[in-house]
Amino acid sequence: MSRLRILAGALALALLLPLAAFAVDTGSADFTRYVAVGDSITAGFMSGSLYQAAQSRSYPALIYRQATGKTTGFEQPLVSSPGIPAQLELKSLAPQLVIGPKAGSGAPLNLNLARPYDNLAVPGARVHDTVATVTDNGGLHDLILRRQGTALQQAAFLRPTFATVWIGNNDVLAAATSGRVIEGVTLTPLAAFETDYRTIANTLSAAGAKLAFATIPDVTSIPFVTTVSSFITLPSGQQVPLIGPDGPLTAGDHVLLTAQTELGQGKGIPAALGGSGLPLSDSSVLSASETATITARVAQYNNVIRTVANEKNAALVDVNAQFAGVAQHGLPVGGVTYTSSFLTGGLFSYDGVHPTAFGYAYLANLFIDAINDKYSGDIPLVNLYPFVFGTSTAASSVLKGADREMDPAGSALLTPEAIRNLFWALNVNLTPPKHPHGRRGH
């Protein structure tokens, strides 16, 4: 039986047992001062936004509650509703699903905390940002770090007894979401990644923390990349490829969620089928070769993470393997099967990149399972009942159970404002790059 299946069984069991049935035993792990370092997923970013209701269900907050039995003491840079940037919501159902930001803007709720936050994850941060960035001149680094030092410096200042490190997603994510694979720009060189990653691990270890690391999932398999088909299926069953920047697309090419505006204008659709016959833009397509480059780099990063975790005798959460298993088999919990499908799968929120509330609870349990294994603990898993059957399901921002087939004509549309806000938060540069040796950079 695979580890994924064993864990799914444990998750189902957690639905049936109240928290009081467990005695908190952290083994040799000490959560007296727990610090989380990472990016948007560690921050609790959901549906394109950092906002309190989602932050309260971030996987570090859930780990802290399960490991300590406390609901206070783990400080996060909380933001009032509708968040920064504004949380995405469903604007209309017909004639097309349209997703856009809520009106208004959130505000910081505990900006004057007299010490660093315990959750120092910054949406959009790369590995190098964790060790080097103090300010981004009004962005989310300033909201979370408050110009008081880098995330790593502030984490070490807290003298953590335990730290989770899940960083590196953005070192490849920009390449996938922008459709531009450019070494040193949207893709971090491997040597630089390893140098900075080791600095993070060594600094936290020297500060006295026991550690848990996580691998990076293959970002070419997230709904932002996989939802829109590269083909149009005719009533006869014949598949006609859309037109990309280099000609007709192949089965290995991906059309990004950002392409919906262009598809609505007829771009990418052959003239014989009523389209303009003009190609989709470079930034709307991730080619098969670019996909292969990103997947290979993810594997290289994960080799570094596994090596460092082994050297530090730390817990390791193989998120890459777990998410690959979910993508292939789904995740059955409490009679509901969760998948990686956009909107209907239950794991990804409205931005097609970040988890739902259930997804964060699932991630927390992956960490808890790995921490228990490494440090001989018995930290109880998060009770998933409210995330599957209760109010948290509604807050997950999904159309769970909807029978809706996603295709180039009928797929959900992220409004231009929604895309701008998401890319701003994730530090994805929309300015077309200049390629001295051709249009598509590698």
Per the domain annotation, does 280 fall within a domain?
no
Higher local confidence (pLDDT), 104 or 432: 104
Per the domain annotation, does 180 fall within a domain?
yes
Q: pLDDT (tens digit, 9 = 90+) per residue, 327-358? A: 899 999 888 899 999 999 999 999 999 999 99
Give the pLDDT band (50/70/90) at residue 412.
confident
Which of 174-183, 218-227, 360-369, 407-416 has the weakest average pLDDT?
Answer: 407-416
Per the domain annotation, does 64 fall within a domain?
yes
Q: Which amino acid is at 9?
A: G
Tell me how many domains the chain contains. Answer: 1
In DSSP terms, which residues pair with 231 in a beta bridge?
Answer: 241
Per the domain annotation, does 260 fall within a domain?
no
Query: Does residue 3 register a pLDDT over 50?
Result: no
Per the domain annotation, does 183 fall within a domain?
yes
Q: 359 and 62 in contact (C-beta within 8 Å)?
A: no
Query: Does residue 247 register a pLDDT over 90?
Result: yes
Per the domain annotation, does 132 fall within a domain?
yes
- Check residue 54 and give its pLDDT: 97
As a whole number, the mean pLDDT across the chain is 89
pTM for the whole thing? 0.90
- Whichever domain contains 405, its CATH number is 3.40.50.1110
Domain residues for the domain of 92 are 3-220+291-425
Per the domain annotation, does 233 fall within a domain?
no
Per the domain annotation, does 163 fall within a domain?
yes
